[in-house]
Structure 1
Amino acid sequence: MRASPFPIREASVANALAANRLGPFAIGSAIASSVAPLTVVTLVVPLAAAATGLIGFPIAILMVAAILMLYAVGYLAMARHIPNAGAFYAYVAHGLGRPAGVGTSWFALATYNSFQLCCYGAFSAAIGAPLLSDWLGFDVPWLIPALLAWALVAFLGANEIKVSGYVLVFLVVAETILVALYSLAIMLSDGFRFNGAAMSVGDLSGPMLGVLVILGATSFAGIEQSVVYIEESKNPKRTIPVATYVTIATIAAVYWLGSWVQISAGGPQILDRAATEADNLFFNQAAVVLGQSSVTLGKILLGTGTLAAAIAFHQAIARYVFALGREGVLPRVFGRTTIKGAPRNASLAQTVLALIVLIAYAVAGWDPLVQLFYWGSTAGGFGILLLYTLTSISVVAYFAKNTHGENLWQRAIAPLIGTAVLLVVSWLAIDNLPGLFGVDPGTGPARVVPITLLLVFIGGTFWGLGLKYANPQVYEGIGRGTRSATASASGLSTIL
């Protein structure tokens, strides 16, 4: 990439995120919250089994974790040279060109919004409304608890990251411990034995591979967000890799145990039970040993877990919008921070969008659990898989131009293997998308989702090309973060 012709005055950059705030545990908790361990075990596993008729989720989780470990090698190597809260956007801009980078930023925002908004559906329909209705003695519309969750996310998102960090650490630790304890209780129930079919590699071949990989990608979505916090991390060259690898391994172990135990305990009727009991299945199995009160406790922590995921994705989206605003790709008002380094304007924009979507769903009468949570999380999982693939290609292209001091494994071997694997599973995912959504080929979300994502990417790419001629200074700074000439010279200051 040729150097910018504009002078860079890094010392004058005021529109930057708060530096030196987050260690490995804080960042690990943030990204673990976005993957929401209890939400995946209690909602994704049974809903996916019922929709697809597959029980190979545990083995798929291990395969996806292995792919992500391989993918992370090149991804983190690139992060060492491009510290940017825009992550996917910045890496593709440096590897495949600025227009593709802007297209990727739009694509990433659409994907993350699918995840963030679906969390409100899960929180409200599966937890908030039922519990409030039981406690108050009358039916509570799902929109009410959704708006309560929305207000809390809005408040935390508008303030410095440490405030959200404390909340996320507590919530993710609590739900992870609960998954482990409930899994142990289920294993202690009479007649329990592990179902070997759930770990059969036979489910990892043919057309079913694509379906299972999307489910796995959905369950790990957010793992890549460690680099989103790179500008706010302590000792980023150590903190980011530790947070990424440890979190992938930990979450994979939690998913593998929770899903295998749940499927095994369901017995021969697991698919029927998954369809009828849905989000209650895991809790009902644990209640056999722990008593009915464990269901209520589980529901409460499931609610806080989905709330934590909403907070984590909101923070990630705000940082993406901030990164784009700072460089002038989006209106520069989004590139401003508070005195304490919080991207408040970007956060408020996401808050407004979430409110519009929630009200639209309520007015239209759409099902918040199926059409908001399941469809939204599935669309997000499909999108994140494509983002992994595109970024992996960008890593290969970036290091092909210059080794940047990285060894052969980091700059070439791991990225090339990861790219080849991701290309295969992405094609299988595209080919089997109707089965994942449970609709006929070419209908419903199986048609709408890929077309929408493609149009979003094309729109962003053309926007980037337009900047080349309409605003060359902004174009030159795409993907450069605080090194962007527009960020340095824009005169943006912090706001209260």
Structure 2
Amino acid sequence: MTTHGLTRRRMSGGGVWLFQVGASSPMAVLAGGIVATYATTGVVATPLTFPLLGTLLGLLAVGYVAMSRAVPHAAPAYALLAHGFGPVTGMVGGALALVFYSAIQMSLYGLVGVTIADLVGGSWVLWSGAVWLVVAVCGLLHVSLSAFVVGSVLCVELAVIALFDIAGFTHPAGGAISTAPVSIDGLWSAGIGGAFTLGIAAFIGFDTAPAYSEEVRTSRSISRSTLAAVLFMALFYGVSAWSLAVAVGADQVAPTAADPDAGLPFSLLDQWYGNGLSLLATLLLVTSVVVAMLSFHNTIARYLFAMAREGVLPGWLARTGASGRAQGAPTGGSIVQSVSALLVVGAFTLVGADPLKVIFTWFSAAGAVGILVMLVLISAAAIRYFRRGGGSNESLAITTVLPTLGVIAGAGVLAIMVLHLSSLLRIADDSPLQAIIPAVVVATIVVGVIWGMLLRARRARVLPEIGRGRPDPLRVLDQRLQDLDV
């Protein structure tokens, strides 16, 4: 192994886009997220939540990617908050990213284990273990191999979902395409908080692009891929949610989705195309989830690598592969992520936690809330960073206006999500269990602050390095030359 660094200038904007969309797991969004949203919240206007949330996340992404161009770093939340508010706040960003990206990835072990067990039989625990091994091995390989895996699976996956959407609109229930799912009046529903939470979870992955900022060919690749990912998800997922409601009927989609015997959306594929395509879709659900887990694994490994590189974490976490397929891969961070996933999911399994109701639903909801908090903080940090003269000649709209709108809208959506978690978690409105997820977010922030304060008290020499990285002058020169050619 070596500590020389990540692979340089090897990834294209298209490769980053694959990781962003792959991390969101489109088939899991259709078969899991959209169906679960209708079933648990009863919000018929679910299709509208995707363009609304896409607009919000697009606003939050403006300051994020603009600042990441000026501060390229493999652990962007950690680095950008450090540059915007100081090193202690940077530790808060690192803690939020590590905890809640991990929560999203770990939630998928419950979903994938149950899906495979339902398909071929056996214990979901054993199948989750097999998937863990696949992710652990692929995480140790070079990023280009992982990008090939992601791209191959994603192309087939999107094609099958497109066939579903086409059939849904050409076979509407009642003989006519219903516009109720895209009516604004449908947003005023008691379950809208739960719908927003699952909707945010569906988008998570678009925000991982800046973690590859040290590996992309040009700095503009990050902003282009992020904008493309957000627009694609907002439209594609919105259309898919509408297609499902049209095919089943706007008045029947919620109760049908809640019926496990209905088998949505695979039963509709059976009806329209036969057993072959529905079986392929089920297999794609498995591979889609594995690809998403691999994408999050890569992101978390890069956070661990980058923070260790600056002395915040043990130095051995900054190791990268030295040769072969592992060259440039953050092997130290990859191993830690694999072990932590095994321990956490294993612990919940040992206490008998339900793989879907607890591991999948609760962990993904926590991840959605935590990551949105992180994105709001990053936008606020970007505003402060640019107002203090940081960065390049960005316009006022990019440095202040749009990020400010993102902070305001993000805080509003967060409030709605937190106040209405009961509809998603299927607990009583007055249940104290609603406080668990917000408490975990607050506890993570507190841990980040304490972590930063301890560094200040015991290892003060490390503080100036937080968020700075160790740039190679030749790489920086090459990056700038590449940008001039764009």
Q: Same fold (TM over 0.5)?
A: yes
Partner of residue 462, structure 1: 450
TM-score, structure 2 length as denominator?
Answer: 0.91
Q: What amino acid is the match of 1:216?
A: G
Partner of residue 390, structure 1: 377
Residues 450-483 of structure 1: per-residue CA shift (max 9 Å, x gap): 1122111101111111111211111111111225
Q: What amino acid is the match of 1:188?
A: T
CA gap of 1:322–1:62, structure 2 versus 1, over 3 A, is same
CA gap of 1:275–1:210, structure 2 versus 1, over 3 A, is closer
Q: What secondary structure does 2:185 align onto?
A: helix
Partner of residue 4, structure 1: none
Aligned with 1:262 (options 244, 247, 255)? 244
Aligned with 2:167 (options 174, 177, 185)? 185
Partner of residue 7, structure 1: none
Contact 1:168–1:308 at 8 Å: present in 2 too? yes
Contact 1:85–1:319 at 8 Å: present in 2 too? yes
TM-score, structure 1 length as denominator?
Answer: 0.90
Q: Does 1:281 align with 2:264?
A: yes
Aligned with 1:477 (options 449, 465, 475)? 465
Q: Distance in 2 between matches of 1:114 and 1:79?
A: 24
Q: Distance in 1 between matches of 2:455 and 2:61?
A: 31
Partner of residue 10, structure 1: none
Partner of residue 235, structure 2: 253
Q: Distance in 2 between matches of 1:442 and 1:326?
A: 45
Q: What secondary structure does 1:456 align onto?
A: helix
Q: Distance in 2 between matches of 1:416 and 1:29?
A: 29
Partner of residue 366, structure 1: 353
Q: Distance in 2 between matches of 1:328 and 1:278?
A: 53
Q: Distance in 1 between matches of 2:76 and 2:442?
A: 20
Q: Does 1:92 align with 2:78?
A: no
Q: What amino acid is the match of 2:215?
A: E
Aligned with 1:167 (options 149, 162, 166)? 149
Give the Å deviation of 1:201: 1.6
* Aligned residue pairs, count: 464
Give the Å deviation of 1:218: 0.8
CA gap of 1:84–1:364, structure 2 versus 1, over 3 A, is same
Q: What amino acid is the match of 1:274?
A: A
Aligned with 1:60 (options 16, 24, 49)? 49
Give the Å deviation of 1:114: 1.0
Give the Å deviation of 1:280: 2.7
Contact 2:194–2:422 at 8 Å: present in 1 too? no
Partner of residue 478, structure 2: none
Give the Å deviation of 1:363: 2.0
Contact 2:66–2:223 at 8 Å: present in 1 too? no
Partner of residue 90, structure 2: 101
Q: What amino acid is the match of 1:458?
A: V
* Farther-moved stretch of structure 1 (333-342 vs 218-227): 333-342
Q: Distance in 1 between matches of 2:433 and 2:73?
A: 33
Aligned with 2:99 (options 94, 100, 110)? 110
Give the Å deviation of 1:56: 1.9
Q: Does 1:348 align with 2:335?
A: yes
Partner of residue 424, structure 1: 412
Contact 1:186–1:192 at 8 Å: present in 2 too? no
Q: What amino acid is the match of 2:56?
A: I
Residues 340-386 of structure 1: per-residue CA shift (max 9 Å, x gap): 21110110011111111232233222211221112211111111111
CA gap of 1:205–1:349, structure 2 versus 1, over 3 A, is same
Residues 138-173 of structure 1: per-residue CA shift (max 9 Å, x gap): xx0101111111111000111211111110111111
Q: Distance in 1 between matches of 2:177 and 2:356?
A: 29
CA gap of 1:257–1:192, structure 2 versus 1, over 3 A, is farther
Q: Distance in 2 between matches of 1:188 and 1:21?
A: 43
Residues 267-293 of structure 1: per-residue CA shift (max 9 Å, x gap): 222111111138931111222111123
Q: Distance in 2 between matches of 1:67 and 1:118?
A: 24
Q: Does 1:230 align with 2:213?
A: yes
Q: What secondary structure does 2:234 align onto?
A: helix
Contact 2:168–2:246 at 8 Å: present in 1 too? no
Partner of residue 134, structure 2: 152
Contact 1:52–1:438 at 8 Å: present in 2 too? no
Partner of residue 315, structure 1: 298
Q: What amino acid is the match of 1:254?
A: F
Unpaired runs of 5+ residues, structure 2, are: 473-486
CA gap of 1:96–1:278, structure 2 versus 1, over 3 A, is farther
Give the Å deviation of 1:209: 4.4
* Farther-moved stretch of structure 1 (201-210 vs 91-100): 201-210
Aligned with 1:357 (options 344, 355, 358)? 344
Aligned with 1:402 (options 385, 389, 393)? 389
CA gap of 1:462–1:265, structure 2 versus 1, over 3 A, is same
Q: Distance in 2 between matches of 1:177 and 1:341?
A: 32
Instruction: Indicate the percent of aligned positions where both proteins have the same amino acid.
Output: 29
* Farther-moved stretch of structure 1 (242-251 vs 34-43): 242-251
Partner of residue 477, structure 2: none
Give the Å deviation of 1:178: 1.0
Contact 1:437–1:445 at 8 Å: present in 2 too? no
Aligned with 2:35 (options 46, 50, 56)? 46
Q: Does 1:198 align with 2:181?
A: yes
Unpaired runs of 5+ residues, structure 1, are: 1-12, 134-139, 485-496
